[in-house]
Amino acid sequence: MKYIVARQVAVTAVSDDREPTGAELDAIEREMPLIAAEVELLDAQIGLLDRPASELDERRVRRARSRVLAARRDLANRTAGVPGGPAVA
């Protein structure tokens, strides 16, 4: 019987003390407005889990969704020229 085994070392090293690189921190910083907008939307949606939505609640969720879409648009436009960013059509 032949056993199939890997002949290579693992592709990614597993390390518990690995810190983010400068490029990863820069990417997080660029995405921070989007992250904040998504957190705001999630907060508005969580507030509606246990009660019916009032008109004020609906407006809050609608504004939060608009902020998320605007942040995604801004991020896509800003990273279009950055290497590793979205491709320009």
**Average confidence (pLDDT) per 10 residues, the chain, 89 residues:** 68 71 93 97 94 94 97 90 57
User: CA triplet 60, 66, 71: central angle to 5 degrees?
Assistant: 125
Q: Which of 25, 40, 33, 38 is nearest to 75 (CA)?
A: 33
Considering the domain boundaries, does residue 59 fall inside one? yes
pLDDT at 78: 87
Q: What residues make up the domain containing 43?
A: 22-79
Considering the domain boundaries, does residue 45 fall inside one? yes
Considering the domain boundaries, does residue 16 fall inside one? no
Total number of domains constituting the chain: 1
34 contacts 68 by C-beta, under 8 angstroms? yes
Considering the domain boundaries, does residue 46 fall inside one? yes
pLDDT at 51: 93
pLDDT at 37: 97
Considering the domain boundaries, does residue 48 fall inside one? yes
CA distance 75 to 84: 13
